[in-house]
Amino acid sequence: MVYKEVVYVVSDSVGETAEFVVKAVATQFNSSQIEIRRNSYVDDIEDIEDIIMLAKKGNTIIAYTIVIPSLKDYLDKRASEESILAVDLLSPLMNAFITRFNKEPNHQPGLMRKLDEEYFRKIEAIEFAVKYDDGRDPRGITKADIVLIGVSRTSKTPLSMYLAHKRFKVANVPLVPEVPPPDELFTVPRKNCIGLIISPDKLNEIRKERLKALGLASQANYASFERILEELDHAEKIMKRVGCPVIDVSNKAVEETAGLILDILKKERSF
C-alpha cells in the first residue's frame, strides 16, 4: 500500500513560520505530491494525541515549532513511541542562542505575532498622525486617542509623531484667532485632549528663528509680541472651554512633554 506523503505542521501559535520552512524545503524536492497540513494553537496533550493518531497512519513527518517545554517533550516522546519522524524547527537555533549569548528563552508562544501586531499598530498610528496633522481633517479629532491643541510652534507635530511611535493615534489642531476651532473639538472627552501653552518670550524666540530659516523678515507680524499675546489669549480661552489639561512646553524637550502627556492620560483614565 502506498501512503500519501504528508507533513503535519504543528505549532503552539499560528504556525506560519513552520509552514513557510516546510514549503521551502518541499520545493527542493520538486514534489507536488507532498501535502502540508497545518495544526495551529496546539496547547494541550489532547491536541498532540490527535495529531499523533493521524500521523501514525501514513507516510508522514511532523514538523513543529513548539516553545512550551512540556508539550515539546510530550510530542517527542509520543512520536518516538509511534516511530513517527518529528522535526523540531526551533530548538537547534534556540540552543545556539543559549550557548553563544548566555540567555534563556521566554518559552512563550505567539511572541512573533505579537511583535508583528505592534509593528503594524505603530505604522497605522504614524499614518494617522500624518493624515490628521495641523487640523487638516477635523474628522480625525473624534477618531484620535489623543488630541493636541495649541498655537503655532508649540511642538504639536513633533509630539504627534513621537506619540505615534508609541502606537497612539494623535490628531493636532492649531488655534488661530481668525479660524474658529472645529466643532468636533468640543465633542471629544476632555481626557482625550491636551492643551499646549508656551511663554510669550520663548514663542517669540522660536518664531523669529523660524522666519529666519524661511528667509523672511523677523519683524513679521507672525513673531510680534502683540500677535503672540493675542494668539495665546485666544488659545487659553479655547482650552478653558474644552476643559482639557494644559502643559507648558516652554523649556521642555519633546520626549519630556510626551512623558507628561502619557502621565496625564493615565491619571485621567484611571478615574
Tell me the binding residues for ADP.
150-157
Tell me the binding residues.
150-157
Rg (CA), the chain: 29
Torsion of CA 133, 138, 144, 150, to 10 degrees: 60
Q: Copy the grid coordinates of residue 241.
A: 472651554
Helices (H), the chain: 16-27, 45-55, 69-81, 91-101, 111-131, 139-143, 156-164, 200-213, 225-242, 254-268
> How far is the C-alpha of 156 from the C-alpha of 171, rounded, in Å?
9
Q: Copy the grid coordinates of residue 211.
A: 522666519
